[in-house]
Chains A and B, each alone.
Chain A
Amino acid sequence: AQKITQTQPGMFVQEKEAVTLDCTYDTSDQSYGLFWYKQPSSGEMIFLIYQGSYDEQNATEGRYSLNFQKARKSANLVISASQLGDSAMYFCAMREGPGGGFKTIFGAGTRLFVKA
């Protein structure tokens, strides 16, 4: 069963606008971590943001924020004031808890296109 679901294969956003990338996850562990990574066309994986399952406040890192809704098991990434350089693949990931061996698994990704 897929544990990380990203339902948007591709998204378009106008430069300077905000965009939300969706992510839902499935786990029976109480302790886990949620991440977003960016992969530009150059191929490297860039860490963006992290949310622990016990963190009560939504994580923020500059223009990135993670909208964490624990009951709904969703961890959407919000990018404010989009820039042309934000065009890339974005992956949601989950570091599983003890039940999952603490391993990190990824969703299929969302390709974001920022239009000038």
Chain B
Amino acid sequence: NAGVTQTPKFQVLKTGQSMTLQCAQDMNHNSMYWYRQDPGMGLRLIYYSASEGTTDKGEVPNGYNVSRLNKREFSLRLESAAPSQTSVYFCASSDVPQEEKLFFGSGTQLSVL
């Protein structure tokens, strides 16, 4: 059971570089999410996709873009990375209302220098 798979696990970028974080789930879930976790601030929602073909902004969308490529995959792109985007990024999926809880990936530690 793969569940939610995120790549890469670690990444170091220079300010201004771009990158895409990949996320895939094999549970046929409708909803997918991207969160960032910073010390003392919990998990903050960046973008989410309630179903294939839709994406919506979360609490902290500035500086990010997303693509729901198909039902399985939801990618997060940083077009011009900034040091403020240094964080741990989590992808998650759920299947509201059938499956309420979130299934999380293992996280990506991103450092922007």
The reply to whether A104 and B45 contact each other, CB–CB distance below 8 Å, is yes
A10→B96 CA distance, assembly (Å): 31
A108, closest chain B residue (CB): B42
Main secondary structure of the interface of B (DSSP, over half): strand
A18→B107 CA distance, assembly (Å): 31
| CB of B113 closer than 8 Å to a CB of A | no
The reply to whether A43 and B42 contact each other, CB–CB distance below 8 Å, is no
A-B contacts counted at CB < 8 A amount to 59
Contact status of A103 and B90, CB under 8 A, knowing A43-B107, A91-B43, A95-B100: no
Residues of B within 8 A of A108 (CB): 40-42
| CB of A113 closer than 8 Å to a CB of B | no
Residues of B within 8 A of A (CB): 31, 33, 35, 40-45, 48, 50, 56, 58-59, 88, 90, 92, 94, 96, 100-102, 104, 106-107
Residues of A within 8 A of B (CB): 6, 9, 33, 35, 37, 43-45, 47, 50, 52, 91, 93, 95, 101-109
